[in-house]
Structure 1
Amino acid sequence: MRLEIGNFHIQDVDFGETTVFENGLLTINKDEALRVVYEDDRITDADIVIARPNDPIRITPVKDAVEPRCKVSGGELYPGLTNNLVPAGTGRTHVLKGGCVLAVGKHWGGFQDGLVDMSGPGSYQTMFSYLLNICLVADTNEDDENHEQQKKNTALRLAAIRLSEYLGECIRDMEPDGLEVYDLPSPNELEDRVKELPRVVYVLQLQSQMIENGYNSLVYGWDARNMLPTLMHPNELLDGAVVSGSFMPSSSKISTYQHVNNETVKRLMREHGVTINFLGVIVSNLNVALEEKQRSAMRIKQIASSLGAEGAIVCEEGYGNPDTDFILAISEFEDAGIKTVGITNEATGRDGRSQPLVDLSIKANALISTGNVSQILKLDPMEVVVGELESLTRDGNSGGWDGSIKADGSIEMENNGIFCADANTGNHFKTVVEY
């Protein structure tokens, strides 16, 4: 499968009479863009706000991030969700690189919603502080969710995807600044020298713990809770086959933006034929019942063993209950003779003294930590708040508590509530140090 990603690098964003990309400037016709948002009658009030790196802006509650894209040939964007159900991962996709659509609640947040600071110490915590953010700030008529800690946020999350597709259309017929090509051949097409390299798989454990549909990550538009672990060509992931769900503490979330830009997968693709034989991506789920966890771990091992894998990387979305799925998968791999590295964040408590994972095994002897969800952050006030700051404490954000917001607008909170802070897909500059 061959996928071409044509990148158009954004230098700035502004509003104007026409939605157009020219000389590095993305100009947005706000009225036209909002008409796309209001196509869903559940959206009752919406605005678009631009937030640039180093602006004195705090954004919360953030629900998802989506990269502006346009499918030029060979399929559909987000198949099975906003477009026809067809295979992803082939043809050409054009991308407005450096830009991002953030879905932001105008008022209501929840356990799974996060905060982004565009400047100051808080900006170091998440990659989204370094992008040109096109903030869709909206309210919906989903009143039954307003006072629920767990929210599906369906209308707003889908509106952000539609808006990102609308913006991407302006570069459909243009020539990109640069082209990334991802072309992982099938096993029977491999050169002999590649067949001799260490055979490696990547396992992506998607958040899918909620029994009711609408909260969980989606694979080709289908709730990940309903699936067994599945082998996927890496191009499918990079081309929109997986969409972020709503459930998961914010720092641990893998956004839709990060799925299509999964840096670990991109690096594995670059290393294919050089240092490794990359066999593909096993997309799995994170479950609640022990039998479900065991079933998924068993299937992951069976798929990898059938491919002849010798090494594996397991990426967990989240922490807590999912740690059992994570450790079970690693243990199954190690028992099968597949050397495994795990990537996850940890919850060591505010004093750093708690057990980092709920479940542990001596077989999990190569783990990469992407951060401590309980780390306390003290953030100065910002001149502008996009969304509603009160949602941090009022609506159960997993990083806030009563008293987090000070009288001067400064904040004391856990890393838990910073949007996608721990970047388990590798899309951040955090450094891992072994002590």
Structure 2
Amino acid sequence: MKLELGNFYVKDIKFGQKTTYGDGILTINKEEALEVVYKDEHITEADLKIVKPGDMVRLVPVKEAIEPRYRVDGGPVFPGVTGKLIQAGNGRTLALKDMSVLVVGKHWGGFQDGLIDMGGEGAKYTYFSKLKNVVLVADTDEEFEQREQQKKNHALRWAGMRLSEYLGEVVKDQEPEEIETYSLTPITKRSEEINSLPSVVLVMQPQSQMEELGYNDLNYGWDTNRMLPTFMHPNEVLDGAMISGSFMPCSSKWSTYDMQNFPLIKRLYQEHGKTINFLGVIMSNLNVALDQKERSALFVAQIAKAIGADAAVVTEEGYGNPDADYIGCLVALEDAGVKTVGVSNEATGRDGGSQPLVTLDPKADALVSTGNVSELIELPPMETVIGELESLARDGLSGGWEDDEILGSSVKEDGSIIMENNAMFCGDQIAGWSTKTMKEY
């Protein structure tokens, strides 16, 4: 399987009479783009905004981020989701880089939604402040689900994917500025030189806890709660097979953009044939019942041993209950003789003094932290708000609150905010590109 990602580096975005791309400038016909959004009759209001790094703009509630792409051989960018089910990870896909499509609710958010500051002190907390973003801000007719968001989230997030495909198509007849090639020889066909290197597998644990459909990450359109751990080619993940869900405190989420650019996959590819033999990805899941957690851990360990893994990297989308799946998987791999490193964020409380993971084990002795979900963040008022600032406090966003006996509301009368890191959109970047670093004392 060989994937070519043809990259076009977007230097600026503007609105104009025709949707075009040239000399690094993406021009968007807003009216035509919104026609793509309004294909869902449940979307009652929609607008497009453009925000860039340094803009004094606050976005909330942010629901999704997607990289615009176009599949050269035809078919949907997101197989089984925005179109028919086809094989991802092979052929050529074109990508608009240094930008994303952000989906923001015009009214009403939920605990899985987050906040992005494009400028000021808050910009350092999320990777998406570094990108040029086309913002779809929209609302639906489903007022009865103001407190239970999945139909609203589905309508808005799917509109974001359609919009991303529309924008990606603008470069379909152009030659990319750069081509990234991702290819792995089948495991049993690799050279003696590569086979002599330590064999490493990446274990991904996407959010899949909800037994009710509509909340979890999707694998080729299939709800990952219905999935047992599965061996996948890493190209499939990079090429649209995985879609973000809408059940997870926001700093811990993997957006669809994260899946499309998963840094841990790309880093392992860089080392393949040099320092490691990169075997591929075991796509696992996160469960609720203890026997489900144990079963998945056993499957992961068995697959890892069967494909000859000497070592594994395990990364968890989330925290809290999923920590039991995360640590259980680490322990099962170690018990199987596979040396394992874990990557996750932690929940050490606002003072940093609590146990970082819900469950721990002495065998989990190589852990990488990408940040504390509970850390308090205070930010001044922002010149412009896209979306609805009140949602941070009113609608139960995981890092916001309507009232606290000490701190008051997350949203102050002057527009300043106080919240937990929990509400920073994909702020901990467990995919492997956290903006946070260690500080020594």
Q: TM-score, normalised by structure 1?
A: 0.98
Question: Percent identity over the alignment?
Answer: 60
> 1:109 is matched with which residue?
109
The residue type paired with residue 119 of structure 1 is G
> 1:47 is matched with which residue?
47
Tell me: CA distance 1:358–1:198, structure 2 relative to 1, closer, same or farther (3 Å): same
> 1:127 is matched with which residue?
127
1:63-102 to 2 correspondence within 5 Å?
63-73=63-73, 76-102=76-102
Q: Give the superposition deviation at 1:345.
A: 0.3
Residue 374 (str. 1) matches residue 374 (str. 2): yes
Q: Give the superposition deviation at 1:188.
A: 2.9
Equivalents in 1 of 2:434, 2:47: separation in Å?
29
Equivalents in 1 of 2:33, 2:8: separation in Å?
20
Q: Give the superposition deviation at 1:42.
A: 1.1
1:346-385 to 2 correspondence within 5 Å?
346-385=346-385
> 1:222 is matched with which residue?
222
Tell me: CA distance 1:434–1:314, structure 2 relative to 1, closer, same or farther (3 Å): farther
> 1:426 is matched with which residue?
432
1:167-206 to 2 correspondence within 5 Å?
167-206=167-206
- Identify the range of structure 1 (34-43 vs 422-431) with the bigger mean alpha-carbon deviation: 422-431
> 1:9 is matched with which residue?
9
Given the alignment, which residue of 406, 410, 421 partners 1:404?
410
Q: Give the superposition deviation at 1:407.
A: 1.5
Q: Secondary structure at the match of 1:207?
A: coil
Deviation per CA, 1:103-132, whole angstroms, max 9, x where unpaired?
A: 100011010000000011110000000101
Q: Give the superposition deviation at 1:270.
A: 1.1
The residue type paired with residue 383 of structure 1 is E
Equivalents in 2 of 1:220, 1:381: separation in Å?
41
Q: Secondary structure at the match of 2:169?
A: helix
Q: Give the superposition deviation at 1:432.
A: 4.2
> 2:283 is matched with which residue?
283
Deviation per CA, 1:38-59, whole angstroms, max 9, x where unpaired?
A: 0011111100011111001000
> 1:56 is matched with which residue?
56
Deviation per CA, 1:199-258, whole angstroms, max 9, x where unpaired?
A: 100000010111111100000001000000000000000001000000000000000000
Equivalents in 1 of 2:152, 2:204: separation in Å?
22
Kept in 2: contact 1:74–1:90 (CA 8 A) = no
Deviation per CA, 1:150-176, whole angstroms, max 9, x where unpaired?
A: 776100000000000000000011011
The residue type paired with residue 425 of structure 1 is A
The residue type paired with residue 72 of structure 2 is V
Kept in 1: contact 2:374–2:421 (CA 8 A) = yes
Equivalents in 2 of 1:361, 1:152: separation in Å?
40
Kept in 2: contact 1:122–1:379 (CA 8 A) = yes
- Identify the range of structure 1 (65-74 vs 102-111) with the bigger mean alpha-carbon deviation: 65-74
Q: Give the superposition deviation at 1:20.
A: 0.5
Tell me: CA distance 1:329–1:151, structure 2 relative to 1, closer, same or farther (3 Å): farther
Equivalents in 1 of 2:289, 2:150: separation in Å?
20
Q: Secondary structure at the match of 1:153?
A: helix
Deviation per CA, 1:367-394, whole angstroms, max 9, x where unpaired?
A: 0000000111110111100000000011
- Give the aligned length: 435
Equivalents in 1 of 2:147, 2:95: separation in Å?
37
Tell me: CA distance 1:432–1:273, structure 2 relative to 1, closer, same or farther (3 Å): farther
Q: Give the superposition deviation at 1:434.
A: 8.0
> 2:23 is matched with which residue?
23
Q: Give the superposition deviation at 1:430.
A: 2.2
Q: Give the superposition deviation at 1:144.
A: 2.6
- Identify the range of structure 1 (310-319 vs 152-161) with the bigger mean alpha-carbon deviation: 152-161
Aligned-residue CA RMSD in angstroms? 1.2
Q: Secondary structure at the match of 1:73?
A: coil
The residue type paired with residue 410 of structure 2 is S
The residue type paired with residue 17 of structure 2 is E
- Identify the range of structure 1 (351-360 vs 184-193) with the bigger mean alpha-carbon deviation: 184-193
Kept in 2: contact 1:348–1:354 (CA 8 A) = yes
Kept in 1: contact 2:75–2:83 (CA 8 A) = no
Residue 249 (str. 1) matches residue 227 (str. 2): no
Q: Give the superposition deviation at 1:404.
A: 1.0
> 1:158 is matched with which residue?
158
Tell me: CA distance 1:247–1:274, structure 2 relative to 1, closer, same or farther (3 Å): same
Residue 414 (str. 1) matches residue 437 (str. 2): no
Equivalents in 2 of 1:71, 1:142: separation in Å?
33
Kept in 2: contact 1:258–1:427 (CA 8 A) = no
Residue 388 (str. 1) matches residue 388 (str. 2): yes
Q: Secondary structure at the match of 1:135?
A: strand
Deviation per CA, 1:376-422, whole angstroms, max 9, x where unpaired?
A: 11101111000000000110001111211111111111100000000
Q: TM-score, normalised by structure 2?
A: 0.97
Tell me: CA distance 1:168–1:211, structure 2 relative to 1, closer, same or farther (3 Å): same
> 1:263 is matched with which residue?
263
Tell me: CA distance 1:119–1:345, structure 2 relative to 1, closer, same or farther (3 Å): same
Equivalents in 1 of 2:375, 2:232: separation in Å?
35
Kept in 2: contact 1:111–1:150 (CA 8 A) = no
> 2:406 is matched with which residue?
none
Equivalents in 1 of 2:149, 2:35: separation in Å?
30
Q: Give the superposition deviation at 1:87.
A: 1.0
Kept in 2: contact 1:63–1:114 (CA 8 A) = yes
Kept in 2: contact 1:368–1:432 (CA 8 A) = no
The residue type paired with residue 426 of structure 1 is G
Kept in 2: contact 1:152–1:214 (CA 8 A) = no
> 1:118 is matched with which residue?
118
Q: Give the superposition deviation at 1:75.
A: 5.6
Q: Give the superposition deviation at 1:149.
A: 6.9
Kept in 2: contact 1:151–1:215 (CA 8 A) = no
